[in-house]
Amino acid sequence: MSMKVQLAALLVGDYDRAIKFFVDVLGFDLVEDSPALTQDGRPKRWVVVRPPGADTGLLLARADGEAQSPLVGCQTGGRVAFFLWVDDFDSVYGRLERSGVQFVGPPRSAPYGRVAVFLDCEGNKWDLLG
């Protein structure tokens, strides 16, 4: 039996702002951006981004309603929940820094490699790892 995580949903406030960040800034591929409908028939979009060559992607899900809207940028309670591994840490770190990505602190060395925590367009914490 084969299993894999195909997508993880990430709440966003605005599809286009999120696409710009993940595609134009981080360098992810825009895999899909299709019209869709909510459970009760309202329009939404099905937006999937994925790092080049990766199997797992992110479903950029626009927050819908009073319960979801306050969770944009904090759906993991302020913890680092996303881990982006790159093979050339210094190059990617420099490119992201020049692009205006907000880093929580300077890069540091850890037993598993170099790491720097950054915020995505909604304020979620990510580890940049290399």
Q: Extract the tokens encoding 52.
A: 């080049």
DSSP for residue 103: B
The pLDDT value given to residue 29: 98
> pLDDT of 57-80, one tens digit each?
999 999 998 999 999 999 899 999
Cross-strand bridge partners of residue 84: 128
The pLDDT value given to residue 32: 98
Q: Extract the tokens encoding 49.
A: 């981004």
Low-confidence ranges of the chain (pLDDT < 70): none
Can you list the domains of the chain with their CATH numbers? 1-69 (3.10.180.10), 79-130 (3.10.180.10)
Q: Which helix (H) or strand (E) holds 47?
A: strand 43-50
pTM of the model: 0.94
Of 83, 14, 67, the closest CA to residue 45 belongs to 14
The pLDDT value given to residue 126: 98
